[in-house]
């Protein structure tokens, strides 16, 4: 360690900051954090709180989706619905209310499905549910570029209309998927923000969704954002899980994401010394 001209004692671990957003090697000023590091921490904390409380601009996001030629070429319609949580405060205090649609939204979705013009009269391979979750920022920034990356890889899948849920939790996708007659559903949701990642998007995949499933029935891909898991890599993993789910007719703890594994099935010439 050494003192610089500002009186801050620098930490030799600070050079590792170029490889991570984690707060390491912050140094010290006397027995405290340097003022700069303290202010940056407070700013990150404020951004994380804002991400939780700031409402999702549903109209703006729907417009952005409709303006995307890539998404519009695959998706016929967008449904906008609401969970049983009436406002943000109730949503944060009652997670259970965010897991189900309110009666008005359920009736609206059922009416849209049963109408003669509806495209949801038959079963679809996949339903896509967009949920604000705990970070509207993550949804607002990442949904369109991620879907533009993912959908061209899913040409073999018939898609139900996109459903956008306000004040929702992950499990609300089970009810939506059931109503949409979707064999599989993916929920794109704003994850709980961290101090270095207020814009992290999560993806949850469920086969044969229906009300009452637990987290054991879902597969998760986390931290989808430019500074985290890239759109291309997240789309590749999603396609793999969807293909495996459709083939094995399951999801959750019994469906493993092996896209990162160095396994015999994916590496030619690889031998396992335990069985060779």
- Domain check: are 70 and 175 in the same one? yes
pLDDT digits (tens, 9 = 90+) for 153-197: 999 999 999 999 999 999 999 999 999 999 999 999 999 988 888
- Domain check: are 192 and 86 in the same one? yes
- Domain check: are 99 and 152 in the same one? yes
Query: pLDDT category, 268, cuts 50, 70, 90?
Result: very low
Mean pLDDT across 63-83? 94
Q: How many residues does the chain have?
A: 276
pLDDT at 211 over 80: yes
Structural domains of the chain, count: 2
Q: In angstroms, what CA-CA distances link 136 with 169, 202, 240, 268?
A: 12, 12, 27, 43
Which of 99-106's residues contact partners 24+ apart within 8 Å by CB, and which partners? 99/168, 99/169, 99/170, 99/171, 99/172, 100/171, 100/172, 100/175, 100/211, 101/165, 101/172, 101/175, 101/176, 105/81, 105/165, 106/81, 106/175, 106/179
HSE of 195, CA atoms in CB hemisphere, 13 A: 13
- Domain check: are 94 and 133 in the same one? yes
Q: What confidence score (pLDDT) does residue 34 get?
A: 87
Mean pLDDT across 36-44? 87
Query: pLDDT category, 103, cuts 50, 70, 90?
Result: very high
Residue 103 lies in a domain: yes
Spatial neighbors of 59 by CB under 8 A, at least 6 apart, are none
Domain of residue 85 covers 55-254
pLDDT at 273 over 60: no
Mean pLDDT across 127-134? 97
Q: CB atoms < 10 A from the CB of 79, how many?
A: 20
Q: What confidence score (pLDDT) does residue 231 get?
A: 97
112-116, 211-215, 238-242: the lowest-pLDDT one: 112-116
**CATH number, residue 208:** 3.40.50.11240
Angle, CA 48 vertex, CA 235 and CA 21 arms, to 5° = 65
- Torsion, Cα 18 45 82 64, to 10 degrees, reads -40
- Domain check: are 178 and 163 in the same one? yes
- Domain check: are 109 and 135 in the same one? yes
Residue 263 lies in a domain: no
Could you tell me the sign of the dihedral formed by the alpha carbons of 235, 218, 225, 169, in that order?
Answer: positive
């Amino acid at each position: 360690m050494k003192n610089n001209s500002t009186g801050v004692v620098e930490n030799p671990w600070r050079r590792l900051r170029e490889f991570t957003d984690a707060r390491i090697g912050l140094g010290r000023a006397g027995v405290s954090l340097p003022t700069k590091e303290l202010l940056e921490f407070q700013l990150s904390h404020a951004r994380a709180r804002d991400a939780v409380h700031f409402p999702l601009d549903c109209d703006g996001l729907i417009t952005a989706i409709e303006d995307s030629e890539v998404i519009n070429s695959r998706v016929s319609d967008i449904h906008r619905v609401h969970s049983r949580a009436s406002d943000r405060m109730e949503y944060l205090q009652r997670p259970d209310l965010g897991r189900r649609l309110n009666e008005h939204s359920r009736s609206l979705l059922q009416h849209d499905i049963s109408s003669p013009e509806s495209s949801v009269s038959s079963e679809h391979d996949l339903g896509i549910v967009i949920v604000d979750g705990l970070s509207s920022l993550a949804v607002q920034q990442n949904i369109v570029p991620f879907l533009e990356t993912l959908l061209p890889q899913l040409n073999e899948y018939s898609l139900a209309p996109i459903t956008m849920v306000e004040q929702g939790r992950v499990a609300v996708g089970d009810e939506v998927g059931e109503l949409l007659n979707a064999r599989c559903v993916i929920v794109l949701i704003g994850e709980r923000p961290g101090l270095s990642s207020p814009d992290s998007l999560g993806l949850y995949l469920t086969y044969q969704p229906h009300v009452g499933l637990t987290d054991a029935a879902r597969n998760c891909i986390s931290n989808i954002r430019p500074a985290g898991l890239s759109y291309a890599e997240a789309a590749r993993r999603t396609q793999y899980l969807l293909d495996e789910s459709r083939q094995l007719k399951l999801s959750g703890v019994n469906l493993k994401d092996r896209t990162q594994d160095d396994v015999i099935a994916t590496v030619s010439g690889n031998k396992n010394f335990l069985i060779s």
